[in-house]
Chain A
Amino acid sequence: MNMVRNLRARLLLPFTGEGGPTKWGRMRALDGAVPNGPSSVAHSRGAFSREREKGRAFCMFAAAAIFLSTPVHAFTAYVSNEKGNSVTVIDTDKLEAVKTVKVGRRPRGIELSKDNSELYVCAGDDDTIQVLDTKTLKITGNLPSGPDPELMILSPDGRTVFVSNENDNLVTMIDAETKRQIGDVPVGVEPEGMAISPDGRILVNTSETTNMAHLIDTRTKQIIANVLVDARPRFAAFKPDASELWVSSEIGGTVAVIDPRSHAVTQKIRFEIPGLSKEAIQPIGISFTNDGKRAFVALGPANRVAVIDTATKKIEKYLLVGQRVWHLAFTPDEKYLLTANGVSNDVSVIDVASLKVVKSIPVGAFPWGIAVATK
């Protein structure tokens, strides 16, 4: 986490009530502070971020105007709070946090089962994946991952969960129904990003220190190609038509576009933001619209999300979001894109049609991953 570059973040830390930079969730100041009462955080923030507060007031107005004009479906979004050891539940109709649930230590990767009945949360420091019942929000069991699970992805049929275990250079395959391990594949050093082709045939894992995307045949459980990308690849995603595989390199500062058939890097997308050093631009999360025409890429400590035209690979716009933006998720109707902002402890709401940031929702400490239920 980049806690150092950022003045507001520093000032905010004591108010989160969830400990300083390295001690996780043991220094809770008061009952009613985060994670139980996000509103109290929002209140105390005002004194330190006047400029932002003004922006928010305007945004709320804008958002309200949008509500009046179009009916919105209510979806539920789940945000993992890396240092809060909690999951914040967001109502995407009200655009506010409605509940906070305690989970295991260092929750990062977060996914829903295909029928939305279960929520899977990687609790890295507990070396397990917790399963929550989405109706009761109670922990009902575990998925047997390897040590330090970080990210996961479900097969398109929802039957298999593929997990990257950061500490032992393995990708684990778990049967979602029986909750048993059904195989593992050795990959490079510090496996992280996970993607699956739309037909479920090719699994992709990125390894952060080896700097590769490993393409794995899901039937034979064997690596079929290793594609070298720039430093510290953290996320991978297939374009919905499966024609391209995109891999973001956090330290390299690029997104590699890979041809999944020839396994060649066909293009590298670079980012330039006036006034920001190239070191500050660190691409992480990638989300494609369903029609595949646009991609959104989170740029970490650059505090922006890049909007990319996938045909030309040109950057249409940079959207200013909260600080240290990690992962992204669309609402199923693609009305909104939600971003987890690790340092500012909030979720930015991007209105996809207008490409404007319309709201920020305070969540728990150090939000990292997001999953949105489809119903």
Chain B
Amino acid sequence: MIKRCVIGASIAALLSILPAAAEPLRVKFGVLRQQHSSETLSILDLPAEDDTLAGALIGVADNNTTGRFTGQSYEAIDAKLASGEDAVAAAQKLVDEGAIAIVADLPADDLLHVADALKSRDALLLNVSATDDRLREDDCRANVVHVAPTRSMLTDGLAQYLVWKQWRRWLLVKGSHPRDELLAAAYRASAKKFGAKIVDERVYVDTEGGRRSDSGSVQTQRLIPPLTQGAPAYDVLIAADESEVFGNYLPYRTWDPRPVAGSAGLAPTSWDAAHEQWGAAQLQNRFRKEFRRGMNARDHQAWVAARMIGEAATRTGSADPKALSTYLLGPDFSIAAFKGVRLSLRPWNRQLRQPILLSDGRMTVSVSPQEGFLHQTSELDTLGVDKPETKCRLK
């Protein structure tokens, strides 16, 4: 108690000697987020009520600690969309309320609509969940920065590791939904890029049932072996199941005893609640203390987005949206995100360069880019679509 008083007193003293603290510069941004499906295979992956938002709020707290010294104060406005609610109207409202940027957790089409609707307004969008490559390619937009990695960055990250491991023969099992096919296509491209071979492809057809029942694992145990039976010789099974229909059913149940990677087993991700290298334990501690749960990839991406806004406002001493965009897109911008190296933006499509973690949900098994995958400008650009191949023309 006494210690707390001392801290309080010192903060008060501190604020009084800083002239800037008299009238803090207010930086407000929106968090526009969708309701994520609770049809997850594992109950451990059920989205929390504050999914995505929690990460942004930790970012706000970190920014405000810095703001104490710079005379800035940060605030996030939460806008969680109900099912069927119009994302564009919600985004407009956030800007009307004074948001200088919007941290967006939206599906690809909604994100594009919002980006186009905000074109004439000064508010940067930071995409923290959509992994669609097309948002950074044919459909790229000048007012969108992508904090979330693309599917191709994720699949390249896994592919580099599997190739390093000499597990070059892959059995690909994909789901029956369009986005599963997009993920499967990314794996095919990664295999080609890094010299792996997809020996066979199988499809797991979604029969539209519920994800859980009290009958439990009995049927699954009988279902998966025949699905994976009779495959040509392979080293690793790759699951492309973005829809969460079957991925986690695969490990330990395949006909041949083979490891599973991709949507289950060894999964490529931008963040995992188990990651603790490079000081990440500090961030995980702050997050768990505040929200009593682990920090997932969306939370982390929202934290990075909030920190990018904070970094831009600190460095420019401004809350002007134009100044912030100019700084973020300029050559001086880079940010630390507990992933071992600095992250920066690819100027040609505004995608954040970043290492990809390979996690089994308990441990960070490895981090890509792997040693030996070289690049003329940044090894991080060995992940995903690179400048010479880009179809993005920013407008």
Contact = CB atoms under 8 A, between A and B. Distances in A.
B43 interface: no
Given A231-B335, A279-B342, A222 B14 contact: yes
Interface residues of B, number: 40
A2 B335 contact: no
B336 A188 contact: no
B69 A210 contact: yes
Interface residues of A, number: 45
Contacts of A211: 66, 311, 314
A188 B69 contact: yes
B334 interface: yes
Given A167-B282, A214-B69, A22 B363 contact: yes
B363 A277 contact: no
A253 interface: yes
Interface in A114-159: 148
B10 A186 contact: yes
Contacts of A190: 279, 282
Contact of B366 (A4, A230, A277): A4
B323 interface: no
Contacts of B285: 167
Contacts of B334: 230-231, 251-252
Contacts of B276: 22
A279 B367 contact: no
Interface in B38-77: 62, 65-66, 68-70
B71 to A, nearest CB: 10
Contacts of A176: none
A222 B66 contact: no
B65 A169 contact: yes
A143 B107 CA distance: 52
Interface in A1-50: 1-7, 21-22
Contacts of A209: 62, 66, 282, 307, 336
B390 interface: no
A212 B69 contact: yes
B279 A279 contact: no
Interface string A281-303: 01000000000000000000100
Contacts of B279: 190, 208, 232
A189 B62 contact: yes
A166 B70 contact: no
A7 B164 CA distance: 11
Contacts of B17: 222-223
Contacts of B340: 2, 4, 301
A228 B342 contact: no
Given A251-B334, A251-B336, A277-B379, A189 B66 contact: yes
Interface string A210-248: 111010000001110010101110000000000000000
B65 A210 contact: yes
A115 to B, nearest CB: 30
Interface in A243-262: 250-253
Contacts, number: 103
B212 interface: no
Given A7-B371, A251-B341, A253-B342, A232 B336 contact: yes
A186 B66 contact: no
Interface in B305-344: 307, 311, 314-315, 334-336, 340-342
A276 B314 CA distance: 30
A279 B315 CA distance: 21
Contacts of B282: 148, 166-167, 190, 208-209
Contact of A185 (B10, B371, B380): B10
Nearest to B70: A226
B14 A184 contact: no
Given A5-B371, A22-B363, A252-B342, A189 B6 contact: no
A183 B341 CA distance: 35
A170 interface: yes
B199 interface: no
B217 interface: no
B314 A228 contact: yes
B120 to A, nearest CB: 33
B336 A186 contact: no
A187 B262 CA distance: 42
Nearest to A166: B282
A1 B278 contact: yes
Contacts of B371: 4-7
A184 B379 contact: no
A188 B342 contact: no
Nearest to A233: B336
A210 B17 CA distance: 19
4 closest cross-chain pairs (CB), A and B: A279-B341, A251-B336, A226-B69, A210-B66
13 contacts: A1-B278, A22-B363, A186-B68, A208-B282, A210-B69, A211-B314, A222-B13, A226-B70, A231-B342, A251-B342, A252-B336, A277-B378, A282-B341
